[in-house]
Amino acid sequence: MCGIVGYLGNEPVYEKVIKGLSRLEYRGYDSAGMAYIENGDLIVKKCKGKVVDLENVVGAVKPLSHIGIGHTRWATHGVPNDANAHPHCSGDGSIALIHNGIIENYATIKQELMNRGHVFLSDTDTEVLVHLIEDVRNAEGVSLFEAVRLALSEVHGAYAIVVIDKSNADQLIVAKKSSPLVIGIGAHDDFYIASDATPIIEYTKNVVYLNDDEVARVDRKTGLTIVNIDNQSQTPYIQALELRLEAIEKGGYDSFMLKEIHEQPRSIEDSIRGRVNLKTGLIKMSGIDEHEERWKTAQRILIVACGTSWHAGLVAEYLLEDFARIPVEVEYASEFRYRNPIIYPTDIVIAISQSGETADTLAAVELAKERGALIFGVCNVVGSSISRATHCGAYTHAGPEIGVASTKAFTAQVVVLYQIALSVAQKRGVISNERTTRLMAELGSLPLKVEQVLKTNALTESIAAIYQHCSNALYLGRGYSFPVALEGALKLKEISYIHAEGYPAAEMKHGPIALIDENMPVIVIATEGASYEKVVSNIQEVKARKGQIIAIVTEGDKTVKGMADHVIEIPRTDDSLVPIVSVIPLQLFSYHVAIMRGCNVDQPRNLAKSVTVE
């Protein structure tokens, strides 16, 4: 949450900052701002709203400065307004700072600073930090670099910051703790700073991911210098980016969300490629192979995640218990970390996160690590904090997901978790070769099946047109389809602002059935499989109360077709793989309803893509 960018180089900063902020806008879009040095003055432009509003504030005369910083905000402390927008400045206006994270002890520091005469113009924790830096610099008579380091040693919380000083147009100071930050090193002594690599990829492939508790200085004359919070010099580790520019552009689609829904045949294929060997019947996953004994002897697996990733975790619970016969507990990372959980050193903890930056999931990982568990990460963003904090893992190869609502990341997560479950089952010797071979072949056929489901787009759109004005919706599924019901409901509420609930189909009669009347769409995943007949009974219960049924059924289904108001057919596959196929029409349904209601599907209100605060 919050996107930050910085540039120091030989070209005008304005375009770099605006473009960078547009790429990072998925991280928050409550306000936008920038600061740059021109003719010895530190100029700050900022406003409530989006990057396009910032462009209007700057107006026709663009700054020519070659150094600057920019910010796009997801509000934590203080409402979204002009005053709370970043950058924030020191009392004397000489330093400006942008920040992603939360300064937890800001209230105490603010009080102390106010006692010393500091006056604050915003409600933010960030403004406190820039005043603290100013205070330390004046009191100690040290450089800005040193003042930032000393100030940060008084701070509790999470931060990625970039600081610019009016009296030095040749340097930026950068620091990080628990919020992501990457520094790109260009070919011409130019530096690009950003919350993730998307604003950088166009200019350079050489990047340094700053570690927690590191403070860096980028300087035209001296280059990149890094120290830790104890002032020990650190050697920058330069890595090559693998990201492609096309992957972060809309590619002819109206929205990132629609593009990402349609990318799923490819992202699923990429998440399988190189792992499944149909000839040998084996699955190769280094994070499992390298810790084979731990997986063989584990008494329990804990899965920690949030939101959509948590739904993928629920599917994994069914898979791991079904295939590998290991007890699994799936935890909301935010609950897990605060309830003194029982974690045995023999446990394996799987952390699932698209961004790899979710603060609660990262904290759950740290906690489980301290207690001796083996931590396996399933992340999409290479080099992200969670992927670095885990002992081992497997990346989902979904490519950058920019739409705030997770779509292709979910299916890629389930695909990777599927392979984990099969691989562990093989290692533990609890699955027959015949079953593995059949399931592997089914898995391999998914990209084509998903391609086929995407053809239901027009039908789904026509159903969405009928229900676009509804106020509530119920999603029902059973077994492997229960997590899909949760995921379908989450998609609808987050992008169309319609209240929606996901339920295990059989639980409906224990309460939610009271909600059903002729205005209530009930979306049921009623594919063939173990609980098909039970779900058919649930459909009848809904129809008896005049509810409107939209059913996702297996192709050729006749029974449900005779009862439901609308059916969307999906290709036949194994029960365990249905979530990957059945979630697609639910994604499309939410997308169309949201578009028809005039909602911004890529940037739904109040949300941000990467939740780096608790």
Q: What amino acid positions are annotated as catalytic residues? A: 2, 609
How is 567-583 classified by DSSP, letter by letter? EEEE----GGGHHHHHH
Residue 557 near ligand F6R by CB under 6 A: no
Nearest to ligand F6R of 402, 424 (CB atom):
402
Nearest to ligand F6R of 164, 490 (CB atom):
490
Nearest approach, Cβ of residue 495 and ligand F6R (Å): 8
Nearest approach, Cβ of residue 611 and ligand F6R (Å): 5
Residue 306 near ligand F6R by CB under 6 A: yes
| Longest CA–CA separation in the chain, Å | 81
Q: Which two tokens stand for residue 332?
A: 């909301």
The residue ranges of DSSP E strands in 399-497, in sequence order, are 472-477
Sign, CA torsion 230/236/237/242: positive
Given the structure tokens 């992927």, which residue do they identify?
387
Stretch that binds ligand F6R, among 303-311, 340-348, 466-474, 547-555 (CB under 6 A): 303-311
Nearest approach, Cβ of residue 308 and ligand F6R (Å): 3
Residue 165 near ligand F6R by CB under 6 A: no
Q: Which two tokens stand for residue 510?
A: 């224990």
Residue 405 near ligand F6R by CB under 6 A: yes
3-state secondary structure (DSSP) of residue 510: helix
Stretch that binds ligand F6R, among 164-172, 267-275, 324-332, 350-358 (CB under 6 A): 350-358
Report yes or no: 213 and 248 within 8 Å, Cβ to Cβ.
no
Nearest C-alpha neighbor of 148 from the set 167, 166, 129: 129
DSSP state of 223: E
Stretch that binds ligand F6R, among 14-22, 354-362, 473-481, 520-528 (CB under 6 A): 354-362
Measured CA to CA, the distance from residue 93 to residue 66 in angstroms comes to 19
Stretch that binds ligand F6R, among 227-235, 306-314, 452-460, 561-569 (CB under 6 A): 306-314
Measured CA to CA, the distance from residue 306 to residue 409 in angstroms comes to 13
Residue 611 near ligand F6R by CB under 6 A: yes
Residue 423 near ligand F6R by CB under 6 A: no
Nearest to ligand F6R of 129, 414 (CB atom):
414
Residue 309 near ligand F6R by CB under 6 A: yes
Binding ligand F6R (rule: CB under 6 A), the pick from 361, 426, 538, 590 is 361
- 452: enclosing H helix or E strand: helix 446-454
Binding ligand F6R (rule: CB under 6 A), the pick from 65, 122, 171, 308 is 308
Q: Which two tokens stand for residue 303?
A: 């899965």
Residue 603 near ligand F6R by CB under 6 A: no
| Strand-pair category, 182-185 with 206-209 | antiparallel
Nearest to ligand F6R of 129, 303 (CB atom):
303
Report yes or no: 406 and 395 within 8 Å, Cβ to Cβ.
no
Count of residues near ligand F6R by CB under 6 A: 15
Report yes or no: 201 and 123 within 8 Å, Cβ to Cβ.
no
Nearest C-alpha neighbor of 265 from the set 409, 449, 35: 449
Positions in 461-520 near ligand F6R (CB under 6 A): 490, 494
Nearest to ligand F6R of 146, 360 (CB atom):
360
Binding ligand F6R (rule: CB under 6 A), the pick from 354, 387, 426, 538 is 354
Nearest approach, Cβ of residue 405 and ligand F6R (Å): 4
Residue 358 near ligand F6R by CB under 6 A: yes
Cβ neighbours for 548, distance < 8 A, ≥ 6 positions apart: 467, 518, 519, 520, 521, 522, 565
Nearest C-alpha neighbor of 450 from the set 277, 261, 296: 261
Residue 307 near ligand F6R by CB under 6 A: yes
Nearest C-alpha neighbor of 213 from the set 162, 140, 149, 130: 149
Residue 355 near ligand F6R by CB under 6 A: yes
Nearest to ligand F6R of 6, 180 (CB atom):
180
Nearest to ligand F6R of 209, 532 (CB atom):
209
Nearest to ligand F6R of 120, 497 (CB atom):
497
Stretch that binds ligand F6R, among 76-84, 302-310, 454-462, 475-483 (CB under 6 A): 302-310
Rg of the chain over Cα atoms, rounded to whole angstroms, equals 25
Measured CA to CA, the distance from residue 548 to residue 116 in angstroms comes to 65
What are the two backbone dihedrals, phi and then psi, of residue 388, each rounded to the nearest 5 degrees? -85, -25
Name the residue with the smallest CB distance to ligand F6R. Answer: 307
3-state secondary structure (DSSP) of residue 1: coil
Stretch that binds ligand F6R, among 54-62, 147-155, 247-255, 347-355 (CB under 6 A): 347-355
Cβ neighbours for 610, distance < 8 A, ≥ 6 positions apart: 1, 26, 27, 180, 195, 196, 355, 357, 358
Nearest approach, Cβ of residue 469 and ligand F6R (Å): 23
Nearest approach, Cβ of residue 554 and ligand F6R (Å): 26
Residue 178 near ligand F6R by CB under 6 A: no
Residue 385 near ligand F6R by CB under 6 A: no
Interface residues toward ligand F6R, by CB under 6 A = 306-309, 353-355, 358, 361, 405-406, 490, 494, 610-611
